């Protein structure tokens, strides 16, 4: 069974975006996964297809209406749909490789992209939306965040990357950042490839890579150390 993504958005033309190219695009053509972008405005009730309104309590910006979003969600994901319902949101739980793996092992995802100041809290509660953030910064809309999430998931689907997915050596897979990479030429602007990598001694190479991964993680992301294992 293939992974099925449904994205609810005010900008369906932003999809599949880069996911229509390269390995993800080929996998889509092969039927490994499918993406449907649903225009939220199609569920508005007025002539102008309005989806937002001023915030209760006052303040700047506009808020996406709960009733219209609920209709869009219910249409895209009727009761019994086993797919998780995700709201891209800077207030959400930060996306991790662990959650990406879980999603890739599941039937797909229904992803709501916010715009303006965000969405009415009542639809988040009423439809039990899982809020997911892609980092501590503010985007102008959830669409790039949805593309990021789907990119991370799709590359893990069976057959998408072949043996390019290097499993436990990749950053985060073992709680460490990945070791540095080198390739030809042997010398670049006076910098040689570390000798151990050309030694042919696989045990030594593995030990060196592990050491480098630990050094990088300690220096850049000490928060990752001790988080797993």
- The residues, ordered by sequence, that sit 6+ positions from 139 with a Cβ below 8 Å of its Cβ are 90, 145
In whole angstroms, the minimum distance from the beta carbon of 216 to ligand SAH comes to 25
Burial of 92 (0-12, 13-18, 19+ CB in 10 A): middle
**Toward ligand SAH, which CB reaches closer, 151 or 214?**
151
Cis before 185? omega within 30:
yes
**Minimum CB separation from ligand SAH for residue 74, in Å?**
19
Query: Residue 39 or residue 174: which is nearer to ligand SAH going by CB?
Result: 39
Q: Which is nearer to ligand SAH, 17 or 141 (CB)?
A: 141
Residue 138: CB minimum distance to ligand SAH, A: 5
Residues 100/149, Cβ–Cβ less than 8 Å: yes
Q: Which of 41, 215 has the CB closer to ligand SAH?
A: 41
What region does 200 belong to: left with phi over 0, alpha with psi -120 to 50, or beta? left
Feature table: binding site for S-adenosyl-L-methionine: 114, 134-139
| Smallest gap from residue 137 Cβ to ligand SAH (A) | 6
State which residue, 113 or 197, has the beta carbon closest to ligand SAH.
113
Which residues are near ligand SAH by CB under 6 A? 88-91, 113-115, 117-118, 133-135, 137-139, 141-142, 145
Angle 142-143-146 (CA atoms, 0-180°, nearest 5)?
Answer: 85
Q: How far is the CB of 89 from ligand SAH (least distance, A)?
A: 5
Quick one: angle between helices 22-29 and 143-154, nearest 10? 70
Residue 22 or 96: which CB sits closer to ligand SAH?
Answer: 96
Buried b / exposed e along 205-226 (16+ C-beta atoms within 10 A): beebbeebbeebbeeeeeebee
CA distance 145 to 103: 15
Cis bond leading into 71, ω under 30°? no
Give the shortest CB-116-to-ligand SAH separation in angstroms. 6
């Amino acid at each position: 069974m293939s992974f099925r993504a449904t994205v609810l958005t005010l900008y369906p033309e932003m999809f599949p975006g880069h996911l229509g190219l390269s390995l993800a695009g080929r996998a889509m053509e092969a039927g490994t996964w499918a993406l449907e972008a649903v225009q939220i405005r199609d569920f508005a009730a007025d002539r102008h297809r309005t989806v937002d309104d001023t915030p209760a309590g006052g303040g700047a910006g506009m808020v996406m209406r709960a009733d219209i979003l609920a209709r869009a969600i219910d249409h895209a994901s009727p009761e019994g749909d086993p797919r998780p319902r995700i709201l891209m949101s800077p207030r959400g739980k930060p996306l991790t490789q662990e959650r990406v793996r879980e999603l890739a092992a599941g039937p797909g995802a229904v992803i709501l992209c916010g715009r303006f100041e965000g969405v009415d809290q009542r639809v988040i509660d009423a439809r039990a939306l899982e809020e997911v953030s892609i980092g501590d910064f503010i985007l102008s809309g959830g669409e790039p965040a949805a593309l990021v999430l789907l990119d991370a998931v799709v590359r893990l689907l069976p057959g998408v990357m072949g043996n390019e997915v290097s499993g436990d050596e990749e950053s985060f897979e073992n709680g460490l950042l990945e070791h540095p990479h080198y390739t030809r030429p042997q010398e670049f602007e006076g910098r040689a490839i570390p000798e151990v990598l050309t030694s042919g001694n696989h045990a030594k190479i593995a030990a060196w890579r592990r050491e480098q991964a630990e050094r990088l993680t300690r220096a850049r992301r000490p928060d990752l150390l001790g988080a797993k294992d």
